[in-house]
Amino acid sequence: MASAPSSFSAAALEKKLKDLNSSLQSIQGVSQWLIHYRRNAKTIVNVWYKELQKAAVSRKLTLLYLANDIIQNSRKKGQEYHTHFSKIMPRALQQIAKSKDASVLHSVERIISVWEERQIFDPAIIIRFKAVLASGSMQPSRRTKSESDVKQSVARRRTESQGSSSEDQPPNGRKPPEPEALIKKMLEVDGENSVMGDMATREKIASIPPEIHDPNVLTKIKDKATLEELAEKVEEASKVLQEYITRLDAELQERNDIQELLDAFIWQQKSLLKTAKKNLKDHQSKLESISNVREELKSHLANLPDLSKLPMGKMKSLEPLPSVGDLFN
């Protein structure tokens, strides 16, 4: 069982960041500790940025991996980190872009692509991240889209996608699910068996000893017994990681399936809305026509003579009365 997180302080935070390395265990361990103290998010993000400013380029990437883990795994708990990282991230990306290290920039581009695919940040923010990383400047270029441009572009793409798709089925070919079935699937994937929410396994992975994933340890082993002991630990850690990766992969496929079903459901609702709007317009047009006829009838009825006020003799002289067709012509 993992021990409880140590208390938060600026000194403890600085030490955590200084001891951080690029291993999964290190990143997840620090990430969990910082998520626990998310009420201090503003201070933590500011210290994180100061550490990134003075770090070497490879270490900047490690700090960005840490930020990515925090941002994605703290979303269900609150928006504190999302808010503060979204404000400071352009400056952080500018710092990384200055290095002009192709491999590092490629890794950062991949992180931003993940944020875009999973809709971690709004499209306008993602575009700003990409622009800063590409130009190394905080100043938007003339070619950088504004937020309104992005929204219009997204809306236009959706409209074009709907216009080019078949009217009988969604663009992805999936059958739109019933609302109850869709909600059930969404609740199941985010329920108590969620792999992403399995903090016990994540803590178990984070507690794997450093020597398990450090090849340099092998050079220090002098006897067979120590080597066999290390091999046993490596095998145990490998099983834990493999099982977790398998579960993650299955959950990812399930979430992709839910995304496709959501897309089909949204397409269906938009189609129904379009049909309802058309029907409403047609019925409003019919109502207007009926109202016009009713007004004409009222007008003609008002022009008919009141026979009850005429003397009987005059009534005979009025015979025969005009026909309905004569009245309306």
DSSP string, 107-154: HHHHHHHHHHHTT-S-HHHHHHHHHHHHHS-SSPPTTSPPHHHHHHHH
Q: Over 70: is that where the pLDDT of 265 sits? A: yes
Torsion over CA of 38, 40, 43 and 46, rounded to 10 degrees?
A: 10
Query: What's residue 312's pLDDT?
Result: 54
Give whole-number Cα distances, 72 to 105, 118, 120, 263, in Å.
Answer: 20, 9, 7, 22
Helices of type H across the chain: 10-19, 24-36, 41-54, 57-73, 80-97, 102-117, 123-135, 147-164, 179-189, 199-206, 224-303, 312-318, 324-327
In three-state secondary structure terms, 175 is coil
More confident residue, 157 or 123: 123
Greatest CA separation for the chain? 137
* pLDDT band at 166; cut points 50, 70, 90: very low
Domain 1-151 architecture:
Alpha Horseshoe (1.25)
Distant-in-sequence, close-in-space partners of 222: CB < 8 Å, separation ≥ 6: none
Q: Over 80: is that where the pLDDT of 219 sits? A: no
* pLDDT band at 139; cut points 50, 70, 90: low
- Contact between 101 and 129 (Cβ < 8 Å): no
Query: What's residue 323's pLDDT?
Result: 64
Q: Indicate the average pLDDT of the chain.
A: 80
Name the residue with tokens 């006020």: 309
pLDDT, average across residues 239-257 = 81
Name the residue with tokens 């959706």: 158
As given in the structure block, the two tokens for residue 184 are 């059930």
Query: What's residue 70's pLDDT?
Result: 94
Q: Over 70: is that where the pLDDT of 326 sits? A: no
* pLDDT band at 165; cut points 50, 70, 90: very low
Q: Over 70: is that where the pLDDT of 144 sits? A: no
As given in the structure block, the two tokens for residue 96 are 């990384």
